Amino acid sequence: MGCEMVSMPFQIPRRSARLRSEAPSLRGMAPGGEGVPATWTTGAKDGIGTSFYNPDQGPSLSNVWYTLSGGTLTEVYYPDVSCANLRVLQLAITDGLSFSDLEETDTTHKVELVFPDALIYRQTNTAKSGKYRIEKTYVTHPQQHALLVLVSFYALVGNVADYRQFVYVNPVMNNGGRQVHAEIYSDDESTVLLTSSSDKSMAVAASAPFVKASAGYAGVSDGLSELKQTFDLGSVYAYASNGNVTQIAQVQPGGEGNQCTYTLAIGFGPDEQAAVKAATTALADRFEAVVQTYRTQWQTYLSQLSPPPTGDTVQYNVAVMVLKAHEDKRHPGAMVASLTIPWGDKVVSTEGGIGGYHLVWSRDFYQVVSTLLSIGDRPLAKRCLRYLDEVQQQPDGSFPQNSWLDGTPYWRGLQMDQVAFPILLAYQLGEIARYPTLVKPAADFIVENGPFTAQERWEENSGYSPSTLAAEIAGLVVAAKMAHDTEDLRSAALYLATADDWVRHVKSWTLVNNGPLSEQPYFLRISDTQNPADGHWIEIKNGGGWRPKDEIVDAGFLELVRLGILAPDDPVVTHSLDVVDEILRYDAPYGPVWKRYNQDGYGEQSDGSPYHGNGMGRPWPLLAGERGEYEVAFDKSPQQTAPTHLYGPRKLLATLAGAANDGYLIPEQVWDGNPVPQRNLYPGGGTGSATPLAWAMAQYIRLSQCIRQGRIVEMPDEVVERYHTHPADLGPAVQVECPDFAAISAQRGIRVCGQTAPYATVLLRGDSAEVTLRADAQGRFEGEISLWAVGENIFHLVGYDNHRSVSVTRWMVFYQPKSVFEMSDPVEDDNGPGWLIYPTHSDFKAGDFDLCNVRILHDDKYVYFEIGLRNLDNPWEGPTGISKQLVDVYLHLPELGEAGQTKTRGLRAQFRDDTPWHRLVRISGNWHGEAQVYRADGSVASEVLIQPQYTSRRISARVLADALGGYPTAKWAVMVLVAGEENGGPRPVRVTASKWDFGGGSPDGAHSDIIDMMVPDGMYQRDLLNWQTGPICLPMLRLS
């Protein structure tokens, strides 16, 4: 006969501050210092769960999320989805005489979903010795911040009285950190395990009594070693603080039969009293009643959505519930990527603030939210859009690489697709009210900063990415529709003109012709420049080294199909798929799965040990879903060309389901090596990265919907219509009549007039000036615009029919303000003192650092510095249009009355004491924000606007006159120094030239990094830069 222990609530002590510490038998502080180093647990979860929450019904009463792995309870999140408060909770079993087991290591594990329509999981752990079995069923209490665990212990040999059961807890509070206090507390009748850190507390209680309990430090005084040695817990301690703390308690369920059942409760609160109350109140309810309420809430949610159209109903339901479970309850609308820490068993938990995947990425966010919208959860999608608009979007319109729930950026990388996806979500929802606050700022940011992206969707490389381009183009097209609908005709014209231009170039920027992987054209993963055939190498992050970019491919180009830009049967798409299949496909036991890209290093090591900064990238199941979406679209296309392999959308849907574990959770990556049982790695099974990945779960749902509807459900109609079904006609032509093309103006402000179609919108747009004009009934337009650079000022003229057609032409004016200083420099003296050597990489061309002339000019607001070089190009796509050069303009400005500086900024030279510099205008590619105007104390005085002019091989730099103390006078002195740029500073000169470094320097570092400079009359560069004759001391040239 079994013995079931009913709920036995504790008496909460009548004290407002803390529970009183127990037990005369308890010693004080546990020994062991901080304990052994602590880590989180693997990212491979077998189950997750939380109570359903509808924000429309008021504040959540149950802010607890649990995760399961390896037969144990792992990270539990409270009070939101970003904050983990537990490492592991499990049972230790001993007979008191001959053995001591731990569930994690001494049992075999099985997990199952208890019901097909609720996130309730049961773990079954069977002793490897065959002596006992433990079943644990998990459910969060819908009205309490508490998790309940129904524990059933089965004696397979003997009866329950022959065994002693211990609850072992290894808490890691408040998302990590050492400031944790673990204590054993009791009232007159019951004992509770209590842990606190800052404003969060956790209490572990049971319906059966804890007859013996101790706090300690992991690996030292945690009780487990003593159980292994003596099969009993003899040394018990009252508390442990500041380290890897633990608690252990013997639970006494009673009974003489072969089965016994009791309930554990893990309660949370802002303080100890609240945590204990949550645990004890939850215990007071019948477990079965809690399960019924919990299940009913999830059933109701599922019933309101589109039913599973195809495939596995249970898998579909779990995917839907898992996605909803990733929405935070304190920040409604915030969706994290996964309730995991990838390879958490290698991530130190005593370092606070670990983000793992429980952060908000707007890309993953979009994949999840757009999927839930497609099956009918419109209220959630609107909450999520509000979150993006009001919480996560940055003031400049961009979105951070990822963020905490309150919008604070965690990683600060910039990924342009993550700026575009929120626009697409707003369009899908028809939320025109979000146009001025979210859509327009994001679209403007894309226009100003795209198509180049600092990181592509794999968060690793900068350049021109097919997948990023697809999102940018689609985002701009739908933003133009919303702009038109709100009568923002200027923005509509700009967005359409930009999108059309990028569509025309997407293949030339990202397509390899006759490359090393195929004689036929194929898309590469990313090109660092607009020329995919320039022979450049890219760095493969995560330890992958440097590889020729035309040898690295991924399937990101399918986004061009999914978002309606390219046709599914476009020959370059179908052939690129053949390349991808040959290089990236892995045939798992259940179907084909693809890796992100070749040479990927984000995954386990070859022996299965966890990723720790490097490894081998493994196949991602979600990519099978993306391939399935492509095949849905291909089935509806004319199929003029086809990839060699067509797997079938339903087969690929089954592949996604096949990748799921026993808890129906789909992993980020699956193992593609030989079995490694000791690490729980098996061919086609999930790795330690992240299970579940919300994006992968969403992909299953979305593919099933695509199959049901026979189309890609989120393909924007506006994009398809523009580039396929009803291509837009060429917009109204724009003819500028004044001033003439290439006219020379001595004035910064100019009047522009011309002719176009009646009532058309005309947009004149340059790098730093813009004006929007509206033609009259005769098609005349007139307005004023300001020039911004000495020399060429190139405008794009956009004509817009105020509906969907645009035209773009190029127009140019030369600007020549008043010149106050001009000087020429000898050519071919770009060798420092006469013997420095250029770096050997082919991107460095003769004349790159050869200063030819310098001019200083000004108008009524700005001072301009014009630098002429023997060669000027931009092979690395520097943000300012400059890739290789660092040009420093040092100014001696005695009229400022400020202290000067004689040392150069990183060039290893100094100026004479009688002419220190007061301002430095640094001109570079601005890769790291270094292109600024600096004061002598190193502070920034203002920005500098840099405009390269490749035809004339000149760089124009514009600075506010006020930042220099006024306009140039005869008392000013100047020196221009030219060096190479690297990582925001000077490119080093070494003894021997190498691929990226100059050569000819001194072994002792006495040389300068200056390659060329202005030289006053009567002086010689070879003397000024010759460190062999003494320290390098530079003159300046007075403007007089």
Residues recognised as catalytic? 456, 459
Residue pair 278/267 in contact by the 8 Å Cβ criterion: yes
**Residue 107 per-residue DSSP state:** E
Under 8 Å between Cβ of 6 and 197: no
Contacts of 549 (CB under 8 A, 6+ apart): 524, 525, 526, 527, 528, 532, 536, 537, 538
> How far, in Å, are 51, 246, 721, 827 from residue 853 at the CA level?
71, 72, 52, 9
Q: CB neighbours (10 Å) of residue 44?
A: 29
Burial class (CB in 10 A: 0-12, 13-18, 19+), 177: middle
CB atoms within 10 A of CB 261: 21
Q: Which of 592, 402, 499, 568 is nearest to 805 (CA)?
A: 499
Interacting residues of 677 by C-beta distance below 8 A, sequence separation 6+: none
Q: List Cβ<8 Å contacts ≥24 apart for 96-102.
A: 96/164, 96/231, 96/232, 97/231, 98/231, 99/129, 99/231, 100/224, 100/227, 100/228, 100/231, 101/127, 101/129, 102/168, 102/224
CB 754 within 8 A of CB 735: yes
Intra-chain end-to-end CA distance of the chain, in Å: 107
**Residue 433, phi then psi, degrees to nearest 5:** -65, -20
Residue whose C-alpha is closest to residue 562's, from 732, 741, 371:
371
Cβ neighbors of 289 (< 8 A, separation 6 or more) are: none
The span from the CA of 228 to the CA of 233, in Å, is: 10
Residues 6+ apart with CB under 8 A from 240: 29, 30, 32, 35, 181, 182, 183, 215, 216, 217, 221, 246
Residue 855 tokens read as: 């001019």
Rounded to the nearest 5 degrees, what angle is found at the Cα of 1027, between the Cα atoms of 1025 and 1031?
Answer: 95
Q: Which of 477, 383, 489, 388 is nearest to 438 (CA)?
A: 388
SS3 24: coil
Q: What residues pair up with 216 in beta bridges, in sequence order?
A: 246
Residue 861: φ, ψ to 5°: -140, -30
User: Which has the closest alpha carbon to 270: 181, 200, 334, 214?
Assistant: 200
> Residue type at 815?
Y
User: Using CA atoms, how far apart are residues 816 and 813, in angstroms rounded to an integer?
Assistant: 10
| List of residues 6+ apart from 517 with CB closer than 8 A | 550, 551, 553, 579, 583
